[in-house]
Amino acid sequence: MADKLFDLGMIGIGVMGKNLLYNMADHGFSVVGYNRSPEKTAALEQGATPNTDVKGVNTMEDLVKMLKAPRKITLLVPAGKPVDDVVGSLLPLLEKGDIIIDAGNSHYTDTLRRVTELQPKGIHFMGMGVSGGESGARLGPSIMPGGDREAYQHVKAVLEAVSAKVNGEPCTAYMGKDAAGHYVKMVHNGIEYAIMQMISEIYDLLHRGLGLDNDELHEVFKTWNEGELQSFLVEITRDIFLKKDDKTGNRLVDMVLDKAGAKGTGKWTSQDAMDLPVAIPSIDIAVSLRTLSAFKEERVKAAAIYKPVIEKIKADKKQFIQEAGEGLFFCTIIAYAQGLALLHNASEELKMDIPMQDVVKIWRGGCIIRSSLLEQFYQAYRKNPQLPNILLDDQLSGLVQSKLPAIRAILAQAIRSGIPAAGLKSALAYFEAYTTERMPTNLIQAQRDYFGAHTYQRIDEEGIFHSEWDQ
């Protein structure tokens, strides 16, 4: 038995693990950390705030021995096999009642499997989403724990202490049963993909279309971040335009290759939405366009063949910037609407009991998709926790309606100029389809019945019908 017992354990001292560990220590918890490569563990104690209680160890055995029972061990290692490997190594060292918290971006089905495998062994396994990146983890992230209620009670106080705060309230809450924590984080990232795609397209319109340089773009995003568009992603975009490249003296953003990476959470959101099914076209298109961006060599060849001409936008500059801001605001609401509709439906289908008002409440601070809009969504779900889509909320509908002329105006310009804007277009198209009482899908049903006898329903009579369409 070790002399002194620590409150919490952390496995994986990378970007997120190290920062969350220091954050825990800053809030008065004693934390012991282990990483498979010992250099990180060796540097751990030195990097901690003076007089906080941090210890680095070189084996999982030592980590387990040094923890108070029930042991509370957070994992921040890459999703997939690394989580299974770490759990496999930990398991023989643990005792009944101990708690493993996977705080990485694991696929929710992996979390479900792990919960089921560990339950009979008496080990609590919780899936927990963490958002806020490096600085969020250090200073206060949004934390999305789910699963085992009993285990949650043991870690609730820690999570509330280390999370971001909005109006004095912690940006963490219990997200629901089973793998709900990881499901909510997955959808958070799907929304993140959509909004990032939309911002990049607005940048394209303002830069290639309207001809704004980086200083002007900085000013535009600065102004936007002081108004209704206030959000973490607009804020960091504002700053990106000013960053100089040490190597060339150019703005760094201009030196970055246009191939977007992706670790999987956006794709999983789309895959799961397709399976349910729930329509989230703006997230789908954002995933697809990151994929298309990686086909750089092919795109260069296509550009050489088709020689696309980008026509300069010949609108009043001030008015276009105003419309671009309002258009982005409209599309951002639609991105949230799609992601939240997915969460609402998935919660019912997978019986996760996700509290929607708590989801948007804890996204108000700390996370990558925090924005002033979240307060309005919170009020909408407080009025009706079962709201299937935020576009059905009275208050929000007025706001959305007021931005329609702007999004239409900028997309008309995008089409004239030859600027793709697929994410922005998808948001308008989703809105227009969602608010259409009679879609043209009657024709699709007629075609399906024509070629495959798939049957159809009628508008004037109950039942299932089939017709011989060619007679």
Ligand X SMILES: O=C(CO)[C@H](O)[C@H](O)COP(=O)(O)O
Q: Contact residues for ligand X (CB under 6 A)?
A: 105, 131, 133, 189, 192, 261-263, 265-266, 368
Known catalytic membership, residue 375 = no
Which residue from 221, 413, 208 is spatially nearest to 316, judged by alpha carbons?
Answer: 413
Count of Cβ atoms closer than 10 Å to residue 9 Cβ = 28
Run of H or E including 234: helix 232-240
Residue 20 interacting with ligand NDP (CB under 6 A):
no
Classify burial at 303, counting beta carbons within 10 Å of its beta carbon; exposed 0-12, middle 13-18, buried 19 or more. Answer: exposed
Cβ closest to ligand X, residue 133 vs residue 420: 133
Q: Which does 35 bind (CB under 5 to 8 A by kind): ligand X, ligand NDP, none?
A: ligand NDP
Give the up-direction half-sphere exposure of residue 33: CA atoms within 13 A in the CB hemisphere. 33
Residue 105 interacting with ligand NDP (CB under 6 A):
yes
Handedness of CA 111, 143, 44, 32 (dihedral sign): negative
Least distance (Å) between residue 232 CB and ligand NDP? 12
d(CA 60, CA 132): 27
Out of 40, 55, 185, 425, pick the active-site residue: 185
Least distance (Å) between residue 106 CB and ligand X? 11
Count of Cβ atoms closer than 10 Å to residue 297 Cβ = 8
Q: Which of 9, 10, 12, 114 binds ligand NDP (CB under 6 A)?
A: 12
Q: Which residue, chain included where needed, has tokens 């496995």?
A: 11
Q: Which does 192 bind (CB under 5 to 8 A by kind): ligand NDP, ligand X, none?
A: ligand X
The answer to whether 229 touches 198, Cβ cutoff 8 Å, is: no
d(CA 172, CA 408): 37
Cβ closest to ligand NDP, residue 36 vs residue 448: 36
d(CA 336, CA 356): 12
Phi-psi region of 56 (alpha: psi -120 to 50; beta: other; left: phi over 0): beta
Q: Which residues pair with 143 in a beta bridge?
A: 130, 172
The backbone torsions φ and ψ at residue 390, rounded to the nearest 5 degrees and listed phi first, read -65, -20
Q: Which does 40 bind (CB under 5 to 8 A by kind): ligand X, ligand NDP, none?
A: ligand NDP
Least distance (Å) between residue 105 CB and ligand X? 5
Tokens of 350: 């997978």
Residue 376 interacting with ligand NDP (CB under 6 A):
no
Q: Which does 189 bind (CB under 5 to 8 A by kind): ligand NDP, ligand X, none?
A: ligand X
Q: Which residue, chain included where needed, has tokens 């918890």?
A: 29
Q: Nearest to ligand X by Cβ — which residue?
A: 263
Q: Which does 73 bind (CB under 5 to 8 A by kind): ligand NDP, ligand X, none?
A: none
Out of 192, 235, 323, 326, pick the active-site residue: 192
Least distance (Å) between residue 97 CB and ligand NDP? 24
Among 76-84, 192-200, 282-290, 313-321, the segment contacting ligand NDP (CB under 6 A): 76-84
| Cβ-based neighbours of 338, under 8 Å, separated by 6 or more | 191, 194, 278, 279, 280, 281, 282, 283, 430
Residue 42 interacting with ligand NDP (CB under 6 A):
no
Known catalytic membership, residue 192 = yes
Least distance (Å) between residue 18 CB and ligand NDP? 8
Least distance (Å) between residue 297 CB and ligand X? 22
Residue 76 interacting with ligand NDP (CB under 6 A):
yes
247-266 positions binding ligand NDP, by CB under 6 A: 263
Least distance (Å) between residue 38 CB and ligand NDP? 9
By rule CB under 6 A, what count of residues binds ligand NDP?
A: 23
Which residue from 138, 142, 154 is spatially nearest to 185, judged by alpha carbons?
Answer: 142
Q: Which does 85 bind (CB under 5 to 8 A by kind): ligand NDP, ligand X, none?
A: ligand NDP
Residue 35 interacting with ligand NDP (CB under 6 A):
yes
d(CA 338, CA 430): 9
Tokens of 384: 């009706």
Phi-psi region of 364 (alpha: psi -120 to 50; beta: other; left: phi over 0): alpha
Q: Which does 86 bind (CB under 5 to 8 A by kind): ligand X, ligand NDP, none?
A: ligand NDP
Least distance (Å) between residue 394 CB and ligand NDP? 35
Cβ closest to ligand NDP, residue 54 vs residue 86: 86
Residue 40 interacting with ligand NDP (CB under 6 A):
yes
d(CA 433, CA 389): 14
Cβ closest to ligand NDP, residue 149 vs residue 263: 263
Q: Which does 399 bind (CB under 5 to 8 A by kind): ligand X, ligand NDP, none?
A: none
d(CA 264, CA 285): 14
Secondary structure class of 101 (helix, strand, coil): strand
Cβ closest to ligand NDP, residue 38 vs residue 308: 38
Residue 133 interacting with ligand NDP (CB under 6 A):
yes
The residue ranges that bind ligand NDP (CB under 6 A) are 12-17, 35-37, 40, 76-79, 82, 85-86, 104-105, 130-131, 133, 263
Catalytic residue positions, numbered: 185, 192
